[in-house]
Amino acid sequence: METQKLPCSCLYCFRDSLGRITEWLTFDNMHHQWLLLAACFWVIFMFMVASKFITLTFKDPEAYSARQELLFLTAVPDAGKLPGEKHFPEELKPTGAMLPDSQLAQPLVYLERLELIRNVCRDEALRNLSHTAVSKFVLDRIFVCDKHKILFCQTPKVGNTQWKKVLIVLNGAFPSIEEIPENVVHDHEKNGLPRLSSFSEAEIQKRLKTYFKFFIVRDPFERLISAFKDKFVHNPRFEPWYRHEIAPGIIRKYRRNRTETRGIQFEDFVRYLGDPNHRWLDLQFGDHIIHWVTYVELCAPCEIKYSVIGHHETLEDDAPYILKEAGIDHLVSYPTIPPGITMYNKTKVQHYFLGISKRDIRRLYARFEGDFKLFGYQKPDFLLN
């Protein structure tokens, strides 16, 4: 049979059936061969279409994050060589907010978050809870990436270490994330990630006006639980001052039951944070309070016009969006987020507040109400009533 002489090996398995079909369609040998050749190309074409469809529909999240990680680990310091889609002239590069086109393309949710902040900032009744001075304390919280014109305000206990690593690599002090020693991430003498406070007044204003600015928030009470666990229960880093100096200070002033001798409890912590006179102890604790003061006190969201606010609860979407808006998505990607860890866990919150008096919880809410309202977190009525 002639079909065996066909150049297309792909047709091999279809040979017999196609041969039979073509036998009663063809008039001579020439026609016979041309028809089979056409059929062969048709099969290849259909296979290509089908395979495209299969990869689109069955792309599993695991494979996706593996790819993200790969991209992240191979962060390329030199932007020029990459075929990125976003190549703006240097002056236009930093912020999405400056480019009308990309404003239009922004998913509504991010614009709504900024709109909510604007509205809550105008609410006179919340003024004390939403406003703060752009002091040295705030400028110390903001990290600068001049190369890509980015400002990042640090909100501890909301996955900030990963963002700092991203910026350290972009600044060029280290070629990739995994080459940053763990002890250097938070060592601002060595990591090449300057604080905004280290610049002159004019340089600070210039950066605040023109750079892409962002920070990440999460449910305020979950953040406090995370801070309590991380600093007073586990403390994975070696930071003995939390348990040996700060905890005894809180217990001395706020423990209700004087015969109770256990180490610091979440209840003691809640009573300290909810005390309208907490500043008295805050001053003694110094900058360690960054782990539990409000987002307002850390980042001054009513005074500084941020470009994007990320939410920990939707970090899977927000992290790539921030990288894109900052114009660095072709250089780095956010490390893989383990499934489930960013979700709000009501059971956990209930568990931690169990047995703590309503009065103390209401006082805590009264202090953090600004954070709840500014960033759209629901008032936790299940704890307050």
Ligand X SMILES: *[C@@H]1O[C@H](CO)[C@@H](O)[C@H](O)[C@H]1NC(C)=O
CB of 256 to ligand X, least distance (A): 8
Nearest to ligand X of 20, 346 (CB atom): 346
Return d(Cα 23, Cα 25) in angstroms, integer. 6
**Looking at the DSSP assignment, which residues form a beta bridge with residue 212?**
150
Asked if residue 158 lies in contact with residue 223, where contact means CB atoms within 8 angstroms, the answer is yes
CB of 142 to ligand X, least distance (A): 25
**Looking at the DSSP assignment, which residues form a beta bridge with residue 213?**
151
The secondary structure of residue 378, as a DSSP letter, is: P
CB of 352 to ligand X, least distance (A): 8
Task: Give the interface with ligand X as residue ranges (CB under 6 A).
Answer: 128, 257, 259-260, 340, 345, 347-348, 351
Nearest to ligand X of 207, 231 (CB atom): 231
- Lookup: tokens for 236: 């994975």
Nearest to ligand X of 183, 345 (CB atom): 345
Nearest to ligand X of 296, 322 (CB atom): 296
Other Cβ atoms within 10 Å of 144 Cβ, number: 22
CB of 60 to ligand X, least distance (A): 21
CB of 222 to ligand X, least distance (A): 10
Nearest partner of 172 among 198, 154, 151, 191, judged by Cα:
191
Asked if residue 40 lies in contact with residue 6, where contact means CB atoms within 8 angstroms, the answer is yes
Nearest to ligand X of 80, 340 (CB atom): 340
- Lookup: tokens for 234: 């586990």
What CA–CA distances, in Å, run from 304 to 207, 296, 324, 350, 368?
A: 11, 10, 21, 34, 19
φ/ψ (deg, to 5) at 374: -60, -35
Asked if residue 155 lies in contact with residue 161, where contact means CB atoms within 8 angstroms, the answer is no
Nearest partner of 151 among 108, 220, 103, 209, judged by Cα:
209
Nearest to ligand X of 219, 329 (CB atom): 219
The enclosing H or E element of 254 equals helix 247-254
CB of 130 to ligand X, least distance (A): 11
Nearest to ligand X of 51, 128 (CB atom): 128
Nearest to ligand X of 239, 260 (CB atom): 260
**Looking at the DSSP assignment, which residues form a beta bridge with residue 311?**
217
CB of 17 to ligand X, least distance (A): 53
Nearest partner of 249 among 220, 222, 221, 289, judged by Cα:
289
The enclosing H or E element of 344 equals none
CB of 363 to ligand X, least distance (A): 14
Return d(Cα 180, Cα 169) in angstroms, integer. 8
Return d(Cα 164, Cα 170) in angstroms, integer. 10
CB of 225 to ligand X, least distance (A): 9
Nearest to ligand X of 59, 351 (CB atom): 351
